[in-house]
Amino acid sequence: TRKISRAVARISLGLQDSLSLGNLESRRDWGFAGDYVEAMWRMLQQDAPDDYVVATGETHSIRELLDVAFGRVGISDWSGFVRQDPRFFRPAEVDVLVGDSSKAREVLGWKPRVGFEELVAMMVDADVATETESAARDGLAAPAGRAGAARPAGPTVVDQPRGGSDRSGVRS
């Protein structure tokens, strides 16, 4: 996942030309670490230890991840930037990975707060900021970016909060 968000940031800034991936149709259950930490905290508040699955219960394909990530930087047609490489196909890969967190939802009263699109936006925004800072630190001219890759209006990632009520790390 980070491989994709970082490459999208670098491509949008003109620092990278392409991204090589394997199966674009495999589906995963992606969730925000902050939500999962909250679930763990709730587990620790229980009178007795127990096993829970912490997951969103939703799957999204690599292709969907690419759509959202590239869309975040204003690139609607990413096909010229992404290459499927047979070296990255995994013969034993499970096509769909999804968790059933119904027990955690019922017993702990937990549910994820950050959705897939918001999560991808947070990751891409953070990587754009990191790659921009890195280019400046390395003495490179400020990246001009790709034509058509203007940043859309939307939430902007800020430093991760240290105890406030907005644990998403996103400011509207």
Examine the pLDDT at 56 and tell me if it is beyond 90: yes
Beta-carbon count within 10 A of 115 CB: 14
Examine the pLDDT at 158 and tell me if it is beyond 60: no
Examine the pLDDT at 75 and tell me if it is beyond 90: yes
Residue 159's CATH number: 3.90.25.10
As a whole number, mean pLDDT of residues 130-147 equals 76
- Predicted model pTM: 0.79
| Residue 62 structure tokens | 């690599």
Q: Does residue 143 lie in a domain region?
A: yes
Q: How many domains does the chain have?
A: 1
pLDDT, averaged across the chain? 86
Q: Does residue 171 lie in a domain region?
A: no
Task: Domain of residue 75: give its range.
Answer: 2-165
Examine the pLDDT at 15 and tell me if it is beyond 80: yes
Distance CA 168, CA 22 (A): 30
Tell me the three state secondary structure of residue 83: strand
